[in-house]
Structure 1
């Protein structure tokens, strides 16, 4: 029986090559999308799963009336451990503010090596009691016992030392204020680790570079640059423990918060396993994911698979009249309904498994490109789960696609079929319309999302940021020696005719800046203090970036003042209670460690976007000074390579031994939108594939519908009907169906677009034009697909049409 069913299935597939190609192509594309997106989702969900007792680990973060902040004050970790019996142990992580990479120097067998390395974190000695790592060298229990200890990942140890044993070897760490010697006390296995704590190396907080400063950070209201993690006891109830946090914070930090003029801070508890995908906080430790994107991508994969299944169901029921005679004869010869159902389900499953095989081959080819797109290193055969799961999906999809046609076709009454009439025709036709509506409603949604994504990213790129981001060369001044060479570098660069101006800044637009202070205007009290983000900048800073000075003057060498000076943006001036015109010459104060500090406002600049357009514009102030950080050179448009070559030669002639590194401001700023750009490309690809599959089904359906009306078309042409009349007759039903699908898609598209745009403080306005364009595109694609078959049929010779049956 099975052998006979297979023969019949293969014969049917071979005799209807176009139908087979449509179904196999649709299923292949759908399963390929499911596989690639499934691998991406699996990888994102695997973060922070390697840690033992992860369900007992939490991060304690800050919440204010305006935002949630991942960092916390220095004394919090020890305070929690000492006061609460629910806390088994606590620890802190700190990343160096404003420094994303450090200069590491070693000497191996007489060869000196130096590299800038990212993701280096300072940690407490209790770190490995909260997070258990597998050490390849050293002992985690004592690795941080001695001051100035450093622990490397196996990848970094290999890069620095090759096959040499690194334990107890010295390693120099270059910071903006000097070079410091550390001793390597451990190497941890970083293979397969995926975590929001994406460390390449860990440095002990007990050290002679920042160690002393860390010990003095005992204020509960300021220095919120520590990431506090706790491990609760097995019997602790997290919700009850969290309810105790804010009374505890008020007891210990109330006075400090009051002194700083800040009363709105509170503590929140974050489950460790939720941080990577659900944190959405400011000042995160590392790169995080987005759970909403996973839901969106997963839904897209399911929808595309659903569209492919709908194709099979539509085309199978459309062929019902031709196959009804086959069913009728087989029933008369003794075939029961169960056998017929198994035959039709077998055909659909065979098509699905054929698509599964081709999808695996295609995935192997496309994997490098997909990895480049997502920024990951996904492997198709890393484990059996993805392929096993896809095989299961293919089986389910095959059964789902074939289940309605199986019951629909096997239910025909033999006598009625052989007489040329069979029940179920109306039901089949109605269901096909419903399924086509569903297909193109999904497609229209995806088209709208592509339009919104592209328009928002275009808006981001074209929005006036309040400064000039083009032709800005950024050169990090990472070490104390290099920062001391700023004036030499500046004078050297200005000798090139293509360099217009050079300045220095502790931070610049587009990168994270957490340096801020609570300022209050003269004549007011600390209770009216305003949080203003700072950057220490050199002369000619405003001119180099092209900030628009509204009032006052900028920083120049000729500037002299009695007090330290600063330039504020409009938001800072308003927050302090001044108008733009009266702010210049006024003084602002802040208190630090019992001392009153005063700055004079010498200028006001127009508001600008120091951060990405995800964030609203906040109070910002530029303080005159030179603290190193970054050299910025504004150059004329032209040969960029020539400028870089010249800058590298000035770097070398200044006797700087640090590696020459550089970036461009526009690229640095654009990195804030990498996730959105990747999401937009994935959404665009998904929309194209969804429409492709829907059009495949529509093409096949149109082919069978026009084939059924071939004789009618011949008669109409014989009676004088024009080609346009025939085309309109054959296309209008599909056109109305797709138009109805577009209308249905609008509320869903509106919800999805608003949900995605909610992550931006500055965004496009959704207006009817976007929805009209999405609907028009869907209609045009559908009608072009149908029209090809309609025109082909309408142009047939009436004699051939009348002979078709």
Structure 2
């Protein structure tokens, strides 16, 4: 029986080639979209899942009160303390990023040969780290790799890049830092390509070292220096909730005195290791993070696209109901029951879906490089069989879903009624098909609206006045001791170029992560009234170089010779201290640290500015004077970028700096804060176009059905003198009404979706009525363009042909 059903289904598909082509194309495109999104979701869900005993690992994080004070880091002493005092802890270890240093210089010297590279994602780690987070080693022993002081573990990519075919174990590397060069010994190599984790390290440095180790050992305060990522492996069978409750009470006992001294209150909580990547929403994350909400959104979009394709199959199949009705009538007269007819139509739909699956596989292979570019990385899920098996199962399910309604609709025709020419069965499905097409365009309208909103918000963050001048700012990182000590030489050399207006130095600058902060209090107040102020150490002319608006007092310049500690604050900081802009200059702020009190005089006030992205509210910020390295910033004239870069490279080399010359531009660095939104925008645009394309195919199917339904009515109207334009308007108006209804229904859904997405921004656009008007116009224009061909064809048809059967 199955073989016979297959032959009949294949014969019907061959007979209606144009219909089959449209169905297969629609199903293929929809399945390709689902497969690409499915691969992305599979890859995201796989992060941290291959780490051995990942279900027993947790990370300790800090809550200083409120959602804006959730930090991924913790103070230094916690790790060793929990390992010692908690019997349920098998091992504990810390990771630490070098504060505000995005890259480190790795230098290898072999005789006269020197190889040196700036590398991202180098983390300091405790000797027990690989006892907690086990990574696949290709050289060396994981449990011993970080036991020796000043040891370094490289990823296989870095090891190949530096050492080539030479065995790296035991080789010496020089680590270049802003305060000196330090020797490290390679003790291990791990295979980074097979590690899919939020700890996306390129190399690990022993926490016991000669560069940062002495400083770390002095950090014994339980309330400050929250820059350590503390990972804990629990014994098997440990209840995480009980451990967290016990940990909170323990931290409260140990940290109370230190917190009281700083005038702050905080607590700790745990995060399951395997949930960090997708569910962590903390400040100062260690590495890359995903978003579970994004997966839900993309998964829903994929299913909607597939649903639209299934609806298309229903509409296109039932649109040719007149022809299939006669076939069903004859089969029933010859003795066919309803069951075999249902299975025949289901076989046709599954066969269409399988053909679409073949097309989808080809489209996925062709679109894979483009899709990888959209999401910003290459996916690994396509190398596993599970996603393909799931896609095939989804394909069969989609085929059954798409064929269910046509199968029961068409197989229910009464043979006598059909063969007498009084076919009425198609009317029973008319309203349902309208509902399905309205649903299609409702989804499409929501996607169009989201495209407009996301594009509008991205344009808003690009054009908003940030409170400083971000364009024409050249940033040269000073990552090594030689580069930092050569700042004055670099500055003087650059200023000899007429295209460069001013040069300054800063420990950090707008748009990048700032870890420097302190709890200050104003005159007449105590540590019980502290204000959390982020700050940066800046050189002379910093305010002028970056174009901050100084609204009171003065800035740091070479002529300023005061020896007392000075600070420049923004308006938000002044308000938090209880001062006013008019009288704050000359007032003082204080902080206490290690039984000492430190005082700063306010010498200037700048207008509020966005030091971070528009995701966050403007925070109290201060600038202290001093050259602690970090970044040289040069403001230059527009139109001579190449000349400025050539000059900067020459000055760098003439200063005797042997490290590689690297640079960036401040506006590009700031824009990187919106990379996720940019990627989301590109993905939504792509899938919105796909959804529109497939929905238009469905609309074309319904237009064909309505044209077939009104064939005799059109013939009578034309016989009575109706014009072609009136016929086109008659058919198109029905479509227009359905699309307008879809747009109206999409409004509340669109409001919810747009507000949910915009809630990620502290500063955002207002979704006004014109967004919905534009959405409606686009949807209506696309719909009318789609049905115009079918309507025009019906209007130009010879009425004699349509009335001949009467």
Task: Please tell me the TM-score bracket, short chain as reference.
Answer: over 0.9
Alpha-carbon displacement from aligned partner over 1:477-528 (angstroms, at most 9, x marks no partner): 0011111101111111111111111110000000000100111112211211
Which residue of structure 2 lines up, in the alignment, with residue 605 of structure 1? 606
Contact 1:364 1:380 in 2 (8 A): no
Question: 1:684 deviation in Å?
Answer: 0.8
- Could you tell me whether the CA contact under 8 Å between 2:507 and 2:538 is conserved in 1? yes
Return the offset for 1:74: 0.6
Aligned counterpart, 1:729: 730
Structure 1 match to 2:516: 515
Contact persistence 2:135–2:195 (CA under 8 A):
no
Aligned to 2:65: 65
Provide the residue aligned with 1:171 in structure 2. Answer: 173
Contact map agreement 2:35 2:391 (CA 8 A) in 1: yes
Relative to 1, partners in 2 of residues 1:109 and 1:378: Cα closer, same or farther, differing over 3 Å?
Answer: farther
Q: Structure 2 CA distance, aligned partners of 1:597 and 1:100?
A: 30
Please give the residue correspondences for 1:591-670 in structure 2 after superposition, counting only pairs within 5 Å: 591-670=592-671
Matching residue of 1:695: 696
Structure 1: how far apart are the matches of 2:128 and 2:61? 19
Q: What does 1:61-140 align with in structure 2 at a 5 Å threshold?
A: 61-66=61-66, 67-108=69-110, 110-140=112-142
CA distance in 2, matches of 1:577, 1:245: 37
Cα separation, 1, equivalents of 2:75 and 2:618: 25
Quote the offset at 1:62 in angstroms.
0.5
| Cα-to-partner distance string for 1:583-623 (whole Å, 9 max, x where unaligned) | 11111111122221111111100000000011110000011
- Equivalences for residues 258-297 of structure 1 within 5 A: 258-263=260-265, 265-297=266-298
SS in 2 for 1:117: strand
The whole-number CA distance in structure 1 between the counterparts of 2:616 and 2:346 is 53
1:250 to 242, 249, 252: 252
List aligned pairs for 1:520-599, cutoff 5 A: 520-599=521-600
* Unmatched runs of 5 consecutive residues or more in structure 1: none
Partner of 1:223: 225
Q: Give the Cα separation in 2 of the matches to 1:240 and 1:3.
A: 61
Q: Which position in structure 1 is the counterpart of 2:147?
A: 145
Aligned position for 2:481? 480
1:664-687: per-residue Cα shift (whole Å, max 9, x none)? 111101111011110111011111
Contact 1:72-1:225 at 8 Å conserved across structures: yes
CA shift, 1:799, in A, is 4.5
Deviation at 1:203? 0.5
CA distance in 2, matches of 1:709, 1:235: 70
Moved more, 769-778 or 272-281: 769-778
Q: Which moved more, 1:318-327 or 1:301-310?
A: 318-327
Cα-to-partner distance string for 1:352-398 (whole Å, 9 max, x where unaligned): 11111111112111111111221222257412222222111111111
Deviation string, structure 1 residues 723-781 (Cα, Å, up to 9, x no partner): 33212211222222222222222222222112111111111122222222212221221
Deviation at 1:12, TM superposition (A): 2.9
State the alpha-carbon separation in 1 of the partners of residues 509 and 81 from structure 2.
35
1:191 match: 193
Alpha-carbon distance between aligned partners in 2 of 1:804 and 1:439, rounded to the nearest angstrom: 35
Corresponding residue for residue 445 of structure 1: 446
Residue deviations 1:77-108 (CA, integer Å, cap 9, x gap): 12222222222221111110101110000124
1:706 Cα offset (Å): 1.3
* Cα separation, 2, equivalents of 1:501 and 1:118: 29
Partner Cα distance (1:71, 1:12) in 2: 65
Scaled by the length of structure 2, the TM-score of the pair is: 0.97
3-state DSSP of counterpart to 2:537 = strand
* Separation in structure 1 between the aligned mates of residue 195 and residue 616 of structure 2, nearest angstrom: 31
How far residue 24 of structure 1 moved from its aligned partner, in angstroms, is 1.4
Q: Please give the per-residue CA displacement for 1:162-208, whole angstroms capped at 9, x wherever unaligned.
A: 11111111110001100000111111222210111111111111111
Instruction: Give the structure 2 partner of residue 45 of structure 1.
Output: 45
For 1:726-805, what aligned pairs fall within 5 Å after superposition?
Answer: 726-799=727-800, 801-802=802-803
Q: How many angstroms apart in 1 are the aligned matches of 2:172 and 2:635? A: 39
Contact 2:433–2:702 under 8 Å retained in 1: no
Q: Distance in 1 between matches of 2:797 and 2:47?
A: 61
CA gap of 1:380–1:68, structure 2 versus 1, over 3 A, is closer
Distance 2:790 2:193 in 1: 55
Rounded to whole Å, the distance in 2 between the matches of 1:770 and 1:154 is 50
Q: SS of the residue aligned with 1:116?
A: strand
In structure 2, C-alpha distance between the alignment counterparts of 1:450 and 1:381, rounded to whole Å: 28
Equivalent residues of 2:29, 2:363 under 8 A apart: no
- For residue 562 of structure 1, report the CA deviation from its aligned partner: 4.1
2:192 is paired with a residue of what secondary structure?
coil
**Deviation (angstroms), 1:473:** 0.6
- What are the ranges of 5 or more consecutive residues in structure 2 without an aligned counterpart? none
Q: Retained in 2: the 8 A contact 1:59–1:271?
A: yes
Alpha carbons of structure 1 residues 422 and 719: separation in structure 2 relative to 1, 3 Å = closer
Q: Residues of 1 paired with 2:805 and 2:664: CA distance?
A: 70
Moved more, 249-258 or 638-647: 638-647
**1:2: how far off?**
4.8
SS of 2:504's equivalent? strand
Larger displacement relative to structure 2 (409-418 or 448-457): 409-418
When the two structures are superposed, what TM-score results if normalisation uses the length of structure 1? 0.98
1:21 and 2:21 are equivalent in the alignment: yes
The equivalent residue for 2:36 is: 36
Q: Find the residue that maps to 1:574 and give its secondary structure.
A: helix
Structure 1 residue 49 displacement after superposition: 1.0
Partner secondary structure for residue 244 of structure 1:
helix
Q: Per-residue deviation at 1:800?
A: 5.2
The secondary structure found in structure 1 opposite 2:394 is: helix
Q: What is the number of equivalent residue pairs in this alignment?
A: 804
**Which residue does 2:501 correspond to in 1?**
500
- What secondary structure does 2:580 align onto? coil
Q: CA deviation at 1:125?
A: 1.1
Equivalent residue of 2:592, what SS?
strand
In structure 1, what is the Cα distance between the partners aligned to 2:805 and 2:688? 38
Shift of 1:550: 0.6
Q: Is the 8 A contact 1:517 1:590 kept in 2?
A: yes
Judge which range, 678-687 or 335-344, deviates more: 335-344
More divergent stretch after superposition (1-10 vs 643-652): 1-10
